[in-house]
Structures are given as structure tokens and as C-alpha cells.
């Protein structure tokens, strides 16, 4: 099995090429301790599940090699040792040098290709930043599945997870904004699908298309994919759209409409007393409400309960002091189809004009979004 340079994921939507004439290029250099004498130059074309061999050669006795390719676009390529490690690079110049020790392939060097050097630096930083985030998610998931887990510990772990997530996404965003290579930009946006919200990815993609307007062929295709995804995914489709109105009974039987709260920022929080993840998230919602309730902000709790006594008990136990409504029909509630709800907890943040400006905001993400809009 081939070893991949850390961070390479061959997802078909990640490897579009950019429309810029680059012509012929040469990749040469030296490879030490190679497990095979056969070396391949492979392209990663848009939409392909597997790399395409462009050229191949045999290592000289001193480890030197030279490979040639021709491309009309800037794209992503692999320098691959047969049955050995691979190096990812970008054909942004006509003469690219690669030096690698197969025993320590992650420390390869590239010369003559600024985009390849930037890509290598990104991959190294990606590993350093992503691994702690992945560990934090595993720890948080483990606690969530542990009966009677310590609430203070869970809150601490979730806070760490959300902080690492914010910092990691900030790293991706900064890399994308500072990139001078359309191929590198495309690759990093592909990585962002793991951790960023779709609306944030769309904003970065739209900006990148404008930035590389003369070389944005692949980015434009990615833009089309994202737009299609946002149009077909109900939750994503809610963003920047008017919040669907509804009217349900509150705890005393009084009918309350979402539209009656227009003029305020409203977190519409869909939850239920029987939903363990909802109950674990409630302290975060309480903290957000207490912090921002005097800044034209409120919460409207919408329960998918079918037992009124259990609903009222949970409201009291979790200290949820805002308005609560429910038709007590659980998954047959009218709001389920209206908001295309497939799981809870689920929420939307509605601005004073009645437009949804946030979807599925949890943990630190909720605090950060409220701090952003309620300055």
C-alpha cells in the first residue's frame, strides 16, 4: 500500500485545475533510500477518483531523476515512488526540483515552485493543528456516551474542542486568503469541508473566484458544486433566508408566533426533554442567554416533546427562563417539516429583520456568533 504525504485525501471534488497556460514543465531532483527504482509523475485531475500517470522513469544509480509533463492549467500533481511514498506539488513553474529521503519523506524539499513550497508548509501545519482537534472530538464524544458523566468536565472538554475548532478554521481561512496559487487555494478549500460551515466555505470560494478571476476555472466548478449543495440540503438552504413563521402554544396554553419576536435577535432552539445531547447543550444556551439578553436578544425554545409534564420538568431543572412553545407531537410537530429537522439539538439564529443568519450554533460557536452580531 502506498504511503501518502500527510493531509492528502483524494476526494474527487478537491482537485480542479485552473485555466492558465503553463505548457511543458520538468520535475527533477534526487531520491535517497527509495524502495523502488520506478518513479511516476501523476496528475490529480478534477473529478477523477484515481491519479493519472503523466510520465515515468527509472532512478539513476545516484538517485537522480527527471520527469516531464505538459499542462494548460495549474493543478495538483504527485511525484510517486512505486509502492512507496508520494510528494504532492503544484506545476506553477517550468522547472521544479524535489529532494527526498524515502525513509523521511515528510521532510522533502522543493525548489523553483513557490506554490509547492507553500503547499508543503500547509501540510505540515495542518497535521500539527488537526491532530489535537481530532483528539478533542474523540474525548467529547466519549464523555457524551458515558452515563452520568461529570458535567463540569464535559463543559471543559467541549470548550476546548470549540476553541481548537475556531483556531483551526481560522488557520484554514488565513491560508486561503493569503494564497497566491489557485491550485493551493482549491486544495485548502477542499480540506475546509471537514470542519467549516457550508456558508463560510461558500464565502471563501466566492472570494477566491473573484481573486483568481483569470485562472478560476476549477474554483468556479467548485463554486457550482457548493451552490448545488446549498440548494439541495434543507438545513444549508435556510441560511440567509426568511425564517419560516409558526405559531405554537406556550407552557400556559397561550399561542405564540415567531414573527411576534421580530425586531430582536432570536435563537430558535429546537430540543426535547428526552434528548440527552439537548440537555447537555442547555447550559451553553443558558450562558448565552444570560450574557446577551440585555442586548436585544432572546431565545425561543421549541420542544419536540409529547409529554407536557416531562417538558415542564426539564425547563425547570435546566433553568431555561425564556419563552417555550410546543404542540406536544414530538416528530409529528409542524415545525419538523417546516425547518427540515432531522435531529436535535438544532437551532437557527434569526436577525431583527427575520432573516436566518446562523444554523446549528453550538458551544463556543454560539457565543462567538452572538458576540459578533451583538457588539
Report the alpha-carbon distance of residue 40 to residue 285 in Å, rounded. 54
Per DSSP, the three-state class of 271 is strand
Please choose, from the candidates 80, 126, 85, 78, the residue with its C-alpha nearest in 3D space to the C-alpha of residue 102. 85
Confidence of residue 21 (pLDDT cuts 50, 70, 90): very low
Question: What pLDDT digit, counting tens, does each position of 262-305 carry?
Answer: 999 999 999 999 999 999 999 999 999 999 999 999 999 999 99
pLDDT at 6: 28
As a whole number, mean pLDDT of residues 338-362 equals: 92
Report the alpha-carbon distance of residue 322 to residue 104 in Å, rounded. 58
List the domain boundaries for the chain: 12-110, 118-237, 247-373
Report the alpha-carbon distance of residue 221 to residue 340 in Å, rounded. 27
Question: What pLDDT digit, counting tens, does each position of 300-332 carry?
Answer: 999 999 999 999 999 999 999 999 999 999 999
Confidence of residue 354 (pLDDT cuts 50, 70, 90): very high
> pTM, whole model, 2 decimals?
0.65
Confidence of residue 153 (pLDDT cuts 50, 70, 90): confident
Which of 3.40.30.10, 3.30.1490.270, 3.60.21.10, 2.40.50.100 is the CATH number of 247-373? 3.40.30.10
Taking the CB of residue 339, how many other CB atoms lie within 10 A of it? Answer: 23
Question: What pLDDT digit, counting tens, does each position of 198-255 carry?
Answer: 778 989 999 999 999 877 777 888 888 888 877 667 667 788 889 999 999 999 999 9
CATH code of the domain occupying 12-110: 2.60.40
As a whole number, mean pLDDT of residues 90-106 equals: 95
Residue ranges of the alpha helices (H) in 179-216? Answer: 182-192, 198-211
pLDDT at 237: 74
Q: Which of 3-7, 8-12, 213-217, 310-314 is modeled with the greatest confidence? A: 310-314
Contact residues for 186 (Cβ-Cβ < 8 A; gap 6+): 14, 15, 16, 18, 76, 208, 218, 219, 222
DSSP assignments along 37-89, one per residue: SEEEEEE--TT-SS-EEEEEEE--TTSEEEEEEEEEEE-EEEEEETTS-EEEE
pLDDT at 14: 36
Amino acid at each position: 500500500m502506498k504511503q501518502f504525504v500527510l493531509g492528502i485525501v483524494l476526494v474527487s471534488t478537491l482537485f480542479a485545475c485552473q485555466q492558465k497556460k503553463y505548457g511543458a514543465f520538468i520535475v527533477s531532483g534526487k531520491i535517497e533510500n527509495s524502495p523502488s527504482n520506478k518513479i511516476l509523475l501523476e496528475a490529480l485531475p478534477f473529478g477523477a477518483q484515481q491519479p493519472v500517470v503523466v510520465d515515468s522513469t527509472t532512478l539513476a544509480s545516484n538517485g537522480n531523476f527527471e520527469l516531464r509533463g505538459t499542462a494548460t492549467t495549474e493543478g495538483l500533481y504527485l511525484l510517486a515512488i512505486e509502492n512507496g511514498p508520494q510528494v504532492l506539488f503544484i506545476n506553477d513553474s517550468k522547472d521544479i526540483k524535489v529532494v527526498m529521503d524515502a525513509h523521511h519523506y515528510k521532510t522533502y524539499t522543493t525548489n523553483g515552485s513557490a506554490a509547492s513550497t507553500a503547499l508543503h508548509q500547509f501540510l505540515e501545519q495542518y497535521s500539527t493543528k488537526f491532530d489535537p482537534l481530532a483528539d478533542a472530538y474523540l474525548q467529547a464524544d466519549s464523555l457524551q456516551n458515558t452515563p452520568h458523566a461529570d458535567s463540569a468536565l464535559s463543559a471543559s472538554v467541549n470548550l476546548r474542542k470549540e476553541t481548537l475548532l475556531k483556531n483551526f478554521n481560522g488557520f484554514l481561512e488565513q491560508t486561503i486568503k493569503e494564497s497566491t496559487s489557485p491550485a493551493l487555494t482549491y486544495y485548502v478549500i477542499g480540506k475546509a469541508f471537514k470542519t467549516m460551515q457550508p456558508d463560510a466555505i461558500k464565502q471563501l470560494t466566492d472570494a477566491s473566484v473573484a481573486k483568481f478571476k483569470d485562472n478560476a476555472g476549477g474554483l468556479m466548478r467548485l463554486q457550482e458544486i457548493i451552490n448545488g449543495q446549498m440548494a439541495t440540503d434543507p438545513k444549508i438552504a435556510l441560511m440567509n433566508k426568511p425564517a419560516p413563521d409558526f405559531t405554537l402554544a406556550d407552557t400556559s396554553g397561550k399561542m405564540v408566533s415567531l414573527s411576534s419576536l421580530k425586531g430582536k435577535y432570536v435563537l430558535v432552539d429546537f430540543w426535547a426533554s428526552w434528548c440527552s445531547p439537548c440537555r447537555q447543550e442547555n447550559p451553553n444556551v443558558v450562558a448565552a442567554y444570560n450574557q446577551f439578553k440585555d442586548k436585544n436578544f432572546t431565545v425561543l425554545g421549541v420542544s419536540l416533546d409529547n409529554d407536557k409534564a416531562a417538558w415542564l420538568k426539564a425547563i425547570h431543572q435546566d433553568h431555561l427562563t425564556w419563552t417555550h412553545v410546543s404542540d406536544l407531537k414530538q416528530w409529528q410537530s409542524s415545525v419538523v417539516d417546516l425547518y427540515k429537522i432531522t435531529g436535535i439539538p438544532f437551532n437557527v439564529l434569526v436577525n431583527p429583520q427575520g432573516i436566518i443568519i446562523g444554523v446549528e450554533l453550538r458551544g463556543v460557536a454560539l457565543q462567538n456568533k452572538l458576540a459578533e452580531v451583538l457588539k
